[in-house]
Each structure stands twice: as C-alpha cells, then as structure tokens.
C-alpha cells in the first residue's frame, strides 16, 4: 500500500499531463472546476483526508480540481474565504462566530471535529485530571486563548483567579522544563510531541468537561452557498470520502501525507500518533449514523451555549446543513 | 549688449554688493556694500585681515552665494550664466579633492564637469608643472597637504578659464615650492590674458603676482588702499630685490596696519 | 569573516585576520556546548555537537528548505534595498517632499505582521509573494535612513566644485553623493542581510508549505529542540556570511577613510511651522494611500479596514468609547515598556560599538553573536531569555533589546569610522589614550550615524515590544493585536496598527528634534 501510494505520487509529479490523462479516466468527461480549500494550519495528517480525496481522484471524479492552501501561525482562514480566494475554509465554531460578529457572511457547512481538541496537558507527577485540579497551578498558554480557559472555568465552577496564567508560546518546553504545571493546547499536538520524545503526560480533554464546540468546521460565504452549491457539494463529498478512507487505514493516510510533503519536516512517529489521536475527535456515533461532518439541532444548541459563555452570542442560523444533506443523500 | 566671447578675458564689475548671513544671534554682515571694478586680463590681489570677507567676495563673484544687495557682472553676464558655460574656475582654501578619485581623476573631473574633452597628455603636463609627476595615480589620502593644494591648482587651471578665482591657493605649500609656483604659474593664465582674483595673506606674493593690490580693513570691510603694481610680465626673479618692489610691499603692509588701527578705533 | 576588519582603525593583513576571529568563535562554541549541557533535559537549547549531527542526518531536507528561504530572502533583499534607494533619491530630488517620503516610509515600516499577513496572502495567493514582500519590508527602512544620511555626508566645498562648472543636482549625485553615501549604504545593506533572512522566515508563517520558517514552527511544536537550534544555526550562519560578504564588498568599493567633514553652518533651517505643515501633509498622504491601495486592490472590508472604518470604530460607533478605552489602556502598558526597551537597545548597540572600538580584539567574539542574535527568530531565543531573566521587566527589556540593538551597533560602528583621519592624527600626536580619542574625536563623528540609528530604532522598538508582550508578558498592544486577530476583530487590529504608527511617528519626530540640536554643533552638513 505504502509503495503504491508513493509510486502514484511520483507519477503525478512527472507532470500535469498525468493529471489530465487521469481526468479522462472512469467515464468523467466534464471540465474540472478549479477551487481552493483553505486549511487552518501547516500541512500534516491533520488534513490527511483531503490529501486522500485529492490523490485518489475523489474530487476529480466529481468534476473538481482542489488546491489545498496551507495555513500557518499568521495565516487566518477567514480573509481568503471572504475574498473568494478559497471556496471553503477550515475554521472552528468560535472563530467563525467572531468573524460573523464582525460582519463576515459565513455559515458552517460541516464539522470535521465533532469533539473539541482543546485539552489541559500536565505531567503525571503533578496531574490535572479534572478542571478543579487547575486551581493553585501555573498554566502556560498564549494569552489570546484566555476566553477558552475562562469558559472552561465557568462551566466547571473553577475560580480562574486561583490559576496562575503564564503567557507562553504554543510550545511544550515550559511544561517539560518545569516553568509551568500545565498547558492549554490541542490533545493532538503538544501531548503527541511529548509522547514521541518519551515524556509521559496526562491529557484532560476539555470536551469531556462540558466544553462542547465544533472544530475543523467547513465554512463558506452566503454568496457561495447560493451560487455555487454544486461545487460545495462536490468538495464536501470528496472530503467525506477522503476521511472515511483515512479512518479505514491510518497507516496509509500517514504515509501518503509524508510522501506528499517531503519538505515539510514531518516525522512518521509524530504523524501516526496524531492520526490515531484525532480519530475519536472526528468520528462518533453521530457520524456513524449520518455520515462524516454531521451535526444536529442538539449539538448546535450545545455549541450556542458554549459560544454564549465565550461571549459570542449566536443563533442556529450560523449552521447550514443543506449542503451536507445533499452530500449524504446520494 | 554684445555677445560674450569665451576667448576674451572678462571685466568684472561689482556694484553695491553686500552679503549678510543669518547667525545664531542675529545677522552677520560678511561683506559691507562695496563697488569694485577689475579690469579684463588683470590679476588683482586681495589682502586683508582674516575674516574680513575676502573669501565671501570670491564666492559671490563665482555665483556660489547670491549677494544680499547689488549686482555682479562678468563680461556683461551674471555669474550664473558664466558658470553655466564653465567660464570661470576657483581654487578653494581647502583642496576639496574627491578622496575616491586619483590625482589624475580629480583633475580630469573638472574637464568632465566643464564638458571639455580631456587630453591625457595635457593633464599630465599640468601635473608635472605643479611638481606632481609620478603621483598621477595616487589617491588624495596618499598626498601631503601641500601636494593636495598643488593638485587643486592644477584642477583649477586645466579648464583654461578666462576668469580665475584663487582663494589662498598656496597657503599650505612649502616656501621653496611656493617660490617656484609663484614664478611659473602666473604665466599660465597671464599669457592667455585671463582675469584673476587672488586672495592671499602674503604681502610679498600679492605684489609679485598681481597688477593691482586691494587692501581691506577688518569687518565690516572697506578698501583702505588700492595700489597699482606696474611691473611688466613675465617678472624677473631678481625683481623681489629691487627697491621699487620693496617700496610697494611697504605700502601694502602700512595700509594693512592702518586697516587694523581703524578697526581698533571703531571697537573702542 | 570580516568582522575584525570592520572596526575603526583596524587594518589587519590577511595573515592577522584568521587568528583574530578564530579564538573568539571557538570560545563561543565552547560556551554554547556548555550551556546546552547545563540545560540538558529542559528542551530549551541544543549544543553545537547535536546540531552538527542533526544537520548531517537531515542534510537533504535542510538544504532544500534553506534554498527556498534564501531565494525568497535574496529577492526581498534586492527589492527592499532598491526601494530604499529609490525612496532616498526621491527625497533628495524633492527636498520639500523629503519629510513626506520619510514619514510614509516610517508608517509602512510600522505595519505589524498580524495586520499585513492576511492582506498579503489574499493579494498573492499561494506561493512566495508574501515571504518576499515581508523580507523586503524588513530591510528597506534600515537602508533608507543611513542612505539619507550618507547622501548628505560630504563637505559643502565638494558641492561648490560641481556648481563651479555650471553643473547641478544630477552631477552632484553621480560625482559626490553616490560615492560619499557608499559606506552608509554598505552599513544599511549589512543590517539588511540578517533582516532579510528573518523576514523571509517570518513570511513563511503566513501559510507557506516549505522553508526554514515552516521547519522552525514544526520543530518548536514537536519539542524537537535539536532541530530548532539547527535551524537557528543555519539562519545565523547564512546571515553572518551575508554580513561578512557585504562588509568585504564595502571595503573593496570604498577603502579610504574620509577626509575631514568640517563645513560651514547651513544657510537656512526649516521653521517649526513649516515642519508642522509637512507633518500634516504626511498624515494626509498616508490616509489617502491607505484608502486608495485597499480600494484599488479591491480588498474586502472584512479584514482590510479603511481609514473611515477605523474612524467609525474609534469615534462615531456606539461602542467607540469602550474601544478607545481598551486601546488606550493597552497603549499605555506598551509605552511603559517601549521607552526602556528603546533606550536599552540603542544604548546596547552604541556601547557595544564603542567597546569594539576600544578593544578591537573583542570583535571576533562579539560580532558573530550580534549577527546571530539578529538573524535567529526571536521565537527560538525568547524562551532562553525568559528562562534566564524572567517574564518581568528584565526579561522583556532584554527581548526588546535583542530585537533592536543590531541596527544601532552597525550604524555606530560605521559612524565611529567617520572620524576624520587628520583629527585622529592630532590625538595620535599627543599619544592620547584610546578612551580620550573615543570621547573627543570618534563619538562626535559618530553622532549622525547614531541619530540615524536612534530614528530607525523607534518603530523597531515599538514593534519589538509588541512581540515581547506576545511572547512573555501577555499584556499591552501585543496581546491586544493577537487577540483581535484571532477573533477577526480587524477593526481593533487596524486601530491598533494606526495607533502604533502614530506613536512611532511622534517618537521619531521627538528624536529628530533632539538630533537637530546635536547636529547643529557636530555635523551641520546634515541639516541643509
């Protein structure tokens, strides 16, 4: 499997001609519509489902040619989507809600991460197993994430004034070096880095303590939803197929990611561990029943409640399931 | 008005010219209103105490500063017009050689700026004449102060101007070389009949080189003596030992001290 | 490398050069390895031996990444410096417009990355455009300012010479100004070399898929401290090579020490009213260009806020008072750090330059560290500084000083070399001690360069403080801008940007006022 994927990648690398020929493949003669998907971070297994959709021709068969635009620390997702540079962006419910509050006409079309990946990471000798444990401890985090911590505290009756907040970069080193007792981070990145370096850590997933918030949400503008439905349906359909394939074979998805981005500085142990840890965040009984990316009025209501605590009052209009319904109807 | 002839030395006429600079504690009058006439083809020496405004007068004639009052005419033209066709040349107190150019390059620069064709042989002859043969490729930093000043004189002469403004050109030159330059250089412009204004502190040099010596008092300067020097050119080396020459030197020196006294009286 | 020969008065022969810097480098490497050993297990620092092993094992990846980043840095270096030269010539050609040009250059330099990044990415799409632009933006200002000084650093009599033959500005530019400005241009280019590399790396934070900057983010998040310091070492090494090569180029182009720059005082000085009018005009031009650029590029108002959006947000909107209060509180917090940070950076740079003048032998140890500090992304060094000095005043001021001292160091070193040879000879004749020579001859000669450094350090310090706030204190404008960007509050982000630019401009004007007073005495040719 691994070798066949790499071979395929290399044959693609030989030239665009290969793509063109492949497009003539299984009975699809339509012209390819070129669109872009704005990712929320640097290339990694975090987006492996999209790479599978691309490499296996899921999008091509649906008449789409999708460019996957890398994100980064200074690459917000919302501006390219508002500008039309990207058809769809991968955001999160809180980011989308604040953008909408600032006048951006976004809607959430699908939810890749059903469970929010935010977590409190600590070391076993001084663990944070539940929110109450944070009291009296030093937490390291970028201060821009203050509202997240505030909400977690409110949800669990924790006195935030009893937590010492140490502004740090998004980096596990302060925890390992003993400068802080715990970190506010994603369960799929800094804890994985520590695991790979042989440092055992305790990860308290905030989603288990009431922090219900959709993450890796697919967003598009009202205008796109009104005028480019077919493209949106095709894009999300390819995503759904890609992520289902990802779930079926994490090893293959990881190897594909590594082969596709040889210059990204990715290492296999980290990527495979991250791939494993994001599965329970992305797939649930709900997605098993209805399909990848699904959300319900109930989960939306829970999100609205969390967003309210974050200081972002929104209505259910922020979500639009019609595209996803078309994706999973056929 | 007649068309200016570049080949004819110009008469310089200064009428009611004064110059006032803005100073930290009010205006400073560098040149009090003065009217002077310098005959075509004559060399006039300007002597006077330091700071009396001789250098400023030269800069006004060159058109490097606009006069506060009055007019300056060079052969019927404004200084700006004369400069525009490279009709005059000036040697500054400071040699003002560009440090990144060689000696030859500095001299050739004047020709280039004057839009004149550079004849390498002529440039090198001039360099030899000021006693710098063998230093053609040297940078200014590698030359002594006196050598730099001679280079500046060569640069001043190379464009063959009809009006020469020389501001203490031999100030840093040693006595031996100075005597030789005093003998040889004036021939270069006087043979071509150029008009020259020479600022100097040496009474002997003023009399030796000029057709006329103007003695200024201290600031605000006025002309305290206007002494004609009626020796023919070229001047013989033993002229300096004649009684007539020494008499003229005495006259100039006496006028200089009269100017000093006048200033002291004013001050008291 | 060239660092020793960069020093005033140092004229080492080829033989003397190698042994002079080598012991310093060896000392530095041993210190580094020792520090890494001491900090082992804390994931903060990797030693040179680990770095070499990592570089060897990942040579292919690192070479490819370095090639991408350096290509972008090179383009940014060329474009940014050409822009600086063009701006300086424009300011020279339009003496009355010089204030406006300088003001515009200042404001563009003040734009923080959080505000420009989304715009650049939307304008360019995927690819190298933003990286090159950010590298160019990182270098143009520190070339523009010294160049403006250099183009005037010639005695009045040289310009008289040009005018004497009826020639005007163009001849003066070619024959006098261009050559007189060369040492200053070279100093600017030397400052630019590490800045371009850093700019290209930071530019990759805007969504690049390869390069050294991408690897830095990856390594830091992956707790791969060896990779982080290998990347830091590579960027520092390349920056040092660039710095050294440019210094050698400078010595080849302009080997001579200048003659005395003793000139008559300027005929006229601009009046206060005139300067106020220029200031008002600059503000107007900035606002117009801000608006026109965004309109012409058809940038969406969601993230590309126009001046009228900021006006509404801060003045006419219902929540304007609250917004103003938030902004003002953050600005006050930031200012409290900016002034000590600015002074620290400037003093560190000037003091280091003075020390290197007194003890040229120290250059071998000091200059590589100085260039390295400037070329390594602050995100890698900040954790070390915080560890050693804490998150309080000392640590924060140290971070700001590290980010700002380099232009001051290079400009002052260059300025110290401007002491006229004849004046130095006088001191030599009296067998004056080096300290006396420094105090009485070299420091006065350094003043124009020092003030140029002081002026260009103003916006740099303001930006540096916001970065320190983001990395260490979590307060002030740095925190406000990070929070605004993450919540799409582009109104607040652009208001903060405009405020920072205005404060920088005011600081710049204040320094310029002091400068005029000082230069009237020591370097009047700079005032005309």
**What pTM does this model have?**
0.83
| Domain residue spans of chain A | 2-114+213-329, 118-209
Query: Is residue C359's pLDDT more than 90?
Result: no
pLDDT band at A28 (very low <50, low <70, confident <90, very high): very low
* Within-domain flag for B268: no
Residue C424: the pLDDT is 66
Same domain, residue pair B138 and B213: no
Same domain, residue pair B17 and B146: no
Query: Is residue A13's pLDDT more than 60?
Result: no
Q: What is the pLDDT of residues C404-449, one digit of tens each?
A: 888 888 888 877 776 666 666 666 667 777 777 777 767 777 777 7
Given CB atoms, is B110 within the 8 Å cutoff of chain C? yes
* Within-domain flag for B218: yes
Given CB atoms, is A150 within the 8 Å cutoff of chain C? no
CB-based contacts of A265: which residues, under 8 Å, 6+ apart? C61, C65, C214, C215, C218, C219, C227
- Chain B residues inside the 8 Å CB shell of C421: 141
Contact between C511 and C456 under an 8 Å Cβ cutoff? The reply is: no
Judge A/B contact: 3 or more CB pairs < 8 A. Answer: no
CA dist list (Å): B226 to B38, B223, B235: 12, 7, 21
Contact C164 B88 (CB under 8 A): yes
pLDDT band at C255 (very low <50, low <70, confident <90, very high): low
Select from C166, C175, C421 the Cβ nearest to the Cβ of B109.
Answer: C175
Structure tokens at B225: 């003596």
Same domain, residue pair B93 and B64: no
Contact C205 A196 (CB under 8 A): no
Same domain, residue pair B138 and B150: yes
- Choose the most confident range, by mean pLDDT, from A16-25, A285-294, C141-150: A285-294
Residue C261: the pLDDT is 41
Report the residue of A39, A144, A150 to disrupt the C interface, i.e. the one with the largest count of C CBs within 10 Å.
A144
**Closest of B50, B13, B16 to residue B197, by C-alpha:** B13
pLDDT band at C459 (very low <50, low <70, confident <90, very high): confident
Q: What is the pLDDT of residues C204-230, one digit of tens each?
A: 988 888 999 999 888 888 888 899 889
Same domain, residue pair B47 and B168: yes
Same domain, residue pair B143 and B35: no
Average pLDDT over residues C8-17: 43
Same domain, residue pair B73 and B117: no
pLDDT band at C307 (very low <50, low <70, confident <90, very high): very high
Sign of CA dihedral B131, B133, B134, B140: positive
Q: 3-class DSSP state for residue B167?
A: strand
Per-residue DSSP letters for B89-130? EEE-SS----TTS-HHHHHHHHHHHTT----HHHHHHHHHHT
DSSP assignment, residue C312? Answer: I
Tell whether omega for the bond before B234 is within 30 degrees of 0, i.e. cis.
yes
Report the residue of C200, C207, C299 to disrupt the A interface, i.e. the one with the largest count of A CBs within 10 Å.
C207
Per-residue confidence in pLDDT tens, chain B, 268 aa: 333 444 677 888 888 888 887 766 677 777 888 888 888 888 898 888 877 788 888 888 888 888 888 888 888 888 888 888 878 888 888 888 888 888 888 888 888 888 888 788 888 888 888 888 888 888 888 888 788 888 888 888 888 888 889 888 877 777 787 777 777 777 777 777 788 898 888 888 888 888 888 888 877 677 888 888 887 777 777 887 888 888 888 888 888 888 766 555 444 4
Select from A74, A83, A174 the Cβ nearest to the Cβ of C122.
Answer: A83
Q: What is the CATH number of the domain that holds B22?
A: 3.40.50.300
What is the domain range of residue B214?
Answer: 8-81+164-172+195-257
C504-519: buried (b, 16+ CB within 10 Å) or exposed (e) per residue? bbebbbebbeebeeeb
Residue C47: the pLDDT is 86
Residue A323: the pLDDT is 95
Query: Is residue C460's pLDDT more than 50?
Result: yes
Same domain, residue pair B58 and B168: yes
| A118-209 and A2-114+213-329 share a CATH fold | yes
- Chain B residues inside the 8 Å CB shell of C172: none
CATH superfamily of A118-209: Periplasmic binding protein-like II (3.40.190.10)
Average pLDDT over residues A237-256: 96
C124/A330: higher pLDDT: C124
Lowest mean pLDDT among A6-15, B31-40, C129-138: A6-15
* Within-domain flag for B177: no
Sign of CA dihedral B189, B192, B197, B201: positive
Select from B88, B92, B114 the Cβ nearest to the Cβ of C160.
Answer: B92
Average pLDDT over residues C74-83: 96
Mean pLDDT of chain A: 88
Contact between C506 and C107 under an 8 Å Cβ cutoff? The reply is: no
- Chain A residues inside the 8 Å CB shell of C490: 102
* Within-domain flag for B184: no
Residue B97: the pLDDT is 85
Select from C167, C254, C267 the Cβ nearest to the Cβ of B113.
Answer: C167
Contact C157 B100 (CB under 8 A): no
Residue B262: the pLDDT is 55
Contact B141 C421 (CB under 8 A): yes
Mean pLDDT of chain C: 81
Chains A–C, number of C-beta pairs less than 8 Å apart: 176
Lowest mean pLDDT among A116-130, A252-266, C185-199, C417-431: C417-431
Closest-CA residue of B relative to C170 is B113
Q: Which of residues 110-149 of A touch C (CB under 8 A)?
A: 142-144, 146
pLDDT above 70: percentage of residues in chain C: 88
Residue A207: the pLDDT is 93
Closest-CA residue of B relative to C263 is B94
Tell whether omega for the bond before C153 is within 30 degrees of 0, i.e. cis.
no
- Right CATH number for C4-27+43-526 from 1.10.3720.10, 1.10.150.120, 2.30.30.90, 3.40.309.10? 1.10.3720.10
Query: Is residue C12's pLDDT more than 60?
Result: no
pLDDT above 90: percentage of residues in chain C: 20
Give CA–CA dist A207/A155, Å, rounded. 11
Give CA–CA dist A72/C114, Å, rounded. 12
Residue A15: the pLDDT is 37
* Within-domain flag for B154: yes
Long-range CB contact pairs, B17-21, < 8 A, 24+: B17/B57, B17/B60, B17/B67, B17/B69, B17/B70, B17/B71, B17/B72, B18/B67, B18/B68, B18/B69, B18/B70, B19/B53, B19/B56, B19/B60, B19/B65, B19/B67, B19/B68, B20/B68, B21/C267
Q: What is the pLDDT of residues A71-86, one digit of tens each?
A: 988 888 999 999 999 9
- In this complex, which chains have at least 3 CB pairs below 8 Å with chain B? C
- In this complex, which chains have at least 3 CB pairs below 8 Å with chain A? C
Q: Where are the alpha helices (DSSP H) in C360-392?
A: 363-375, 378-389
Give CA–CA dist C485/C216, Å, rounded. 22
Give CA–CA dist B155/C175, Å, rounded. 15
CATH number belonging to domain A2-114+213-329: 3.40.190.10
Q: Which of residues 59-98 of A touch C (CB under 8 A)?
A: 67, 69-76, 78-80, 82-83, 85, 95, 98
CA dist list (Å): B114 to B4, B11, B127: 17, 21, 19
A259/B50: higher pLDDT: A259
Tell which phi-psi region holds residue A190, choosing left (phi > 0), alpha (psi between -120 and 50) or beta. Answer: alpha
Query: Is residue A4's pLDDT more than 70?
Result: no
CA dist list (Å): A43 to A71, A259, C71, C207: 8, 12, 22, 10
Query: Is residue C380's pLDDT more than 80?
Result: no
């Amino acid at each position: 499997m691994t070798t066949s994927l790499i071979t395929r990648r290399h044959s693609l690398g030989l030239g665009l001609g290969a793509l063109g020929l492949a497009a003539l493949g299984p009975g699809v003669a339509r012209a390819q519509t070129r669109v872009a998907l704005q990712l929320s971070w640097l290339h990694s297994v975090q987006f492996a489902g999209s790479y599978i959709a691309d490499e296996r021709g899921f999008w091509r068969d649906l008449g789409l040619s999708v460019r996957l635009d890398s994100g980064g620390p200074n690459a917000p997702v919302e501006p390219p989507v508002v500008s039309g540079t990207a058809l769809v962006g991968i955001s999160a419910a809180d980011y989308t809600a604040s953008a909408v509050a600032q006048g951006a006409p976004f809607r959430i079309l699908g939810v890749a991460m059903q469970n929010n990946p935010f977590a409190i990471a600590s070391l076993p000798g001084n663990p944070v197993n539940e929110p109450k444990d944070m009291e009296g401890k030093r937490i390291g985090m970028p201060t821009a994430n203050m509202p997240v911590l505030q909400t977690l505290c409110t949800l669990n009756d924790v006195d935030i004034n009893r937590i010492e907040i140490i502004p740090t970069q998004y980096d596990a080193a302060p925890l390992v070096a003993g400068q802080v007792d715990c970190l506010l981070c994603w369960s799929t990145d800094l804890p994985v880095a520590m695991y790979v370096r042989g440092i055992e850590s305790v990860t308290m997933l905030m989603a288990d303590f009431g922090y219900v918030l959709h993450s890796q949400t697919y967003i598009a503008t009202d205008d796109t939803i009104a005028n480019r439905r077919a493209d949106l349906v095709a894009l999300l359909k390819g995503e759904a197929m890609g992520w289902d394939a990802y779930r079926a074979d994490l090893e293959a998805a990881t190897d594909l990611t590594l082969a596709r981005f040889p210059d990204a500085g990715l290492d296999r142990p980290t990527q495979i561990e991250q791939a494993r840890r994001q599965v329970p965040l992305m797939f649930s009984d709900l997605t098993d029943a209805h399909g990848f990316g699904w959300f319900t009025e109930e989960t939306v209501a829970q999100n609205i409640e969390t967003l309210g605590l974050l200081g972002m009052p929104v209505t259910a209009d922020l979500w639009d399931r019609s595209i996803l319904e078309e994706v999973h109807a056929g | 008005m007649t068309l200016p002839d570049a080949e004819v030395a110009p008469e310089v006429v200064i009428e009611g010219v004064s110059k006032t600079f803005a100073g930290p504690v009010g205006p400073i009058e560098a040149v009090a209103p003065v009217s002077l006439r310098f005959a075509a083809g004559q060399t006039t020496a300007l002597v006077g105490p330091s700071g009396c405004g001789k250098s400023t007068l030269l800069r006004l004639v060159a058109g490097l500063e606009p006069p506060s009052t009055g007019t300056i005419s060079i052969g019927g033209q404004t200084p700006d017009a004369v400069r525009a066709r490279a009709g005059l040349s000036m040697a500054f107190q400071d040699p003002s050689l560009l440090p990144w150019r060689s000696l030859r390059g500095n001299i050739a620069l004047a020709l280039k700026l004057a839009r004149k064709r550079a004849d390498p042989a002529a440039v090198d002859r001039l360099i030899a004449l000021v006693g710098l043969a063998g230093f053609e490729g040297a940078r200014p930093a590698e030359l002594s102060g006196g050598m730099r000043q001679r280079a500046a004189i060569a640069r001043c002469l190379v464009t063959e101007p009809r009006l020469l403004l020389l501001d203490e050109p031999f100030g840093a030159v040693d006595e031996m070389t100075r005597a030789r330059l005093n003998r040889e250089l004036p021939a270069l412009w006087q043979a071509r009949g150029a008009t020259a204004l020479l600022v100097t502190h040496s009474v002997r040099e003023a009399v030796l080189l000029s057709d006329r010596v103007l003695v200024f008092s201290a600031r605000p300067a006025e002309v305290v003596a206007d002494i004609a020097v009626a020796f023919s050119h070229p001047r013989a080396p033993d002229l300096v030992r004649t009684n007539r020459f020494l008499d003229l030197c005495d006259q100039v020196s006496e006028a200089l001290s009269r100017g000093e006294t006048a200033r002291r009286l004013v001050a008291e | 490398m060239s660092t020793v020969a960069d020093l005033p008065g140092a004229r080492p022969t080829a033989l003397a050069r190698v042994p002079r810097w080598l012991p310093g480098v060896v000392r530095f490497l041993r210190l580094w390895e020792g520090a890494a050993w001491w900090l082992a297990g804390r994931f903060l620092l990797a030693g040179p031996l680990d770095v070499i092993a990592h570089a060897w094992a990942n040579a292919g990846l690192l070479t490819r990444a370095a090639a991408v980043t350096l290509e972008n840095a090179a383009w940014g270096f060329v474009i940014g410096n050409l822009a600086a030269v063009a701006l300086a010539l424009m300011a020279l050609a339009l003496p009355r417009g010089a204030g406006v040009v300088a003001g515009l250059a200042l404001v563009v330099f003040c734009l923080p990355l959080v505000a420009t990044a989304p715009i650049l990415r939307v304008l360019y799409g995927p690819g190298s455009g933003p990286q090159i632009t950010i590298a160019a933006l990182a270098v143009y200002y520190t070339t523009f300012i010294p160049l403006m000084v250099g183009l005037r650093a010639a005695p009045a009599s040289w310009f008289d010479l040009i005018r004497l033959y009826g020639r005007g500005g163009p001849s003066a530019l070619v024959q006098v100004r261009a050559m007189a400005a060369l040492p200053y241009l070279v100093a600017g280019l030397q400052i630019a070399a590490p800045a371009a590399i850093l700019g290209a790396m930071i530019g990759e934070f805007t969504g690049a898929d390869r390069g050294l900057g991408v690897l830095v983010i990856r390594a830091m998040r992956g707790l791969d401290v060896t990779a982080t310091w290998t990347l830091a070492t590579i960027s520092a090494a390349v920056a040092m090579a660039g710095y050294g090569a440019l210094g050698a180029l400078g010595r080849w182009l302009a080997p001579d020490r200048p003659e005395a720059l003793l000139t008559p005082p300027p005929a006229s000085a601009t009046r206060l009213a005139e300067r106020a009018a220029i200031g008002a005009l600059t503000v107007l031009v900035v606002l117009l260009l801000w608006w026109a650029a965004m309109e012409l590029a058809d940038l969406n108002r969601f993230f590309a806020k126009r001046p009228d959006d900021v006006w509404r947000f801060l003045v006419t909107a219902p929540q304007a008072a609250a917004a103003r209060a938030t902004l003002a509180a953050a600005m006050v917090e930031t200012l409290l750090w900016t002034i000590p940070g600015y002074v620290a950076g400037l003093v560190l740079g000037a003091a280091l330059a003075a020390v290197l003048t007194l003890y040229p032998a120290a250059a071998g140890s000091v200059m590589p560290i100085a260039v390295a500090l400037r070329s390594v992304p602050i995100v890698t060094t900040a954790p070390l500084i915080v560890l050693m000095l804490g998150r309080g005043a000392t640590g924060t001021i140290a971070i700001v000083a590290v980010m700002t001292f380099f232009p001051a160091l290079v400009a002052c070193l260059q300025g110290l070399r401007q002491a006229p040879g004849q004046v130095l000879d006088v001191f030599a004749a009296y067998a004056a001690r080096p300290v006396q020579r420094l105090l009485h001859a070299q420091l006065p000669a350094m003043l124009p360069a020092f003030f140029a450094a002081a002026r260009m350090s103003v916006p740099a310090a303001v930006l540096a403080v916001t970065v320190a706030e983001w990395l260490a204190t979590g307060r002030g404008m740095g925190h406000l801008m990070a929070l605004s960007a993450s919540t799409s509050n582009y109104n607040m982000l652009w208001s903060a940007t405009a405020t920072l630019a205005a404060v920088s401009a005011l600081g710049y004007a204040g320094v310029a006022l002091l400068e005029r007073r000082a230069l009237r005495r020591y370097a009047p040719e700079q005032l005309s």
